[in-house]
Structure 1
């Protein structure tokens, strides 16, 4: 309950940066980590950007092997402190506080991103995706989500320059999806329902679909 209370306080205080209105559900966590598959013979490197209070982090750590690593980049200092308190004893995890644009990234097999791109300007969105996609190993994947109807709601509730920035950001995001998305799925079991997109660097081979059952439904972007 303490995590939920902190999440709600931070949403009310900095909703532009938090974006989400509730921690991710188990179904959304499963969809976001769908392509975090074992790599026999070598450790995996995973990056989570915008972990918040750690709903997806719990799911990721449960799937990590002894030699795997997980980097966590969280801009909100209160969320970052909670993550360090919760997972500080796990030597596989490395913690960074600040914007992902300001971090020195490694090379990763899987990147899971919880940033609220619907709130970002086009330049910020493009910069973040360029950095993340450029940090993937061959065959690596980047997964992120947005709320169903979120873009429409933002267009409706904004006006003037703020609305123009929102429209430009959405155009930039659609262009990134056209170039890099190989699968999108609708997760109904979340508050609110969300759409998860799985991306790979341009020119990368398509990934085989996994047969895991989940409370989601395919829907092309």
Structure 2
């Protein structure tokens, strides 16, 4: 079974968890991995959450140095099995099966996330984003994507309790972006077009600063 066939089969089985309707395009993969940069100063630790069939993972692995490490956290056991088979011979790569909330994360220089936050509730999204930002080392980056134009469309097409859930979710994401985002970019060459957000941890304010 090809990766694309497996992806579409799992999309029809677990549409809410899979989220995407097609694997990430090369352009989206390059945008998501923009900050996976080998460091001459020493080994770097990278985390990819929700790698799926590995469309973005290939670009992450290509950017790894010989001493770097990559943790892949994939909730779908079929996708996780495919990834484990694909990278069985690469000692830098470790595959963790299950939701990211079930794992004790280390500290990372770069986090790449492909989770479909639009399909999650506000509390779950806030928890996951908090964990990922909290796992970043000083100077680290978190990159994730959402489909372009979807937030206003969801607000327009939902009513009642569903609309309240959408507003709560978008409020959580908006707060996280306002605090941590340093760059966004639109990727038109993807199905559908996507918006990639790059985030960084915020240094704590020193006591008495600005007084």
TM-score bracket relative to the smaller structure: over 0.9
Aligned length: 204
Aligned to 2:41: 41
Q: Deviations over 1:51-83 (max 9, x none)?
A: 000000001111111111000000011111111
Name the larger-Rg structure. Answer: 2
> Contact conserved, 2:180 with 2:202, CA < 8 A, in 1?
yes
TM superposition shift of 1:203: 3.4
> RMSD across aligned C-alpha pairs, in angstroms?
1.4
Aligned to 2:54: 54
Structure 2 residue 158 is the aligned partner of structure 1 residue 161: no
Query: C-alpha separation between the residues in 1 aligned to 2:89 and 2:154?
Result: 40
Do the aligned partners of residues 145 and 41 (structure 1) sit closer, same or farther apart at CA in structure 2, a change above 3 Å counting? same
Structure 1: 5+ residue runs without aligned partners? 205-221
Do the aligned partners of residues 86 and 198 (structure 1) sit closer, same or farther apart at CA in structure 2, a change above 3 Å counting? same
> Contact conserved, 1:73 with 1:95, CA < 8 A, in 2?
yes
Aligned to 2:13: 13
Q: Deviations over 1:105-150 (max 9, x none)?
A: 0110000000001111111111111111111111000000000122
Aligned to 1:174: 174
TM superposition shift of 1:160: 3.4
TM superposition shift of 1:164: 1.9
Aligned to 1:215: none
| TM-score, normalising length: structure 2 | 0.92
Aligned to 1:149: 149
> Contact conserved, 2:36 with 2:64, CA < 8 A, in 1?
no
Aligned to 1:98: 98
| TM-score, normalising length: structure 1 | 0.88
Q: Secondary structure at the match of 1:17?
A: helix
Q: Secondary structure at the match of 2:106?
A: coil
> Contact conserved, 2:50 with 2:113, CA < 8 A, in 1?
yes
Aligned to 2:209: none
Aligned to 1:65: 65
Q: Secondary structure at the match of 1:55?
A: coil
Structure 2 residue 87 is the aligned partner of structure 1 residue 87: yes
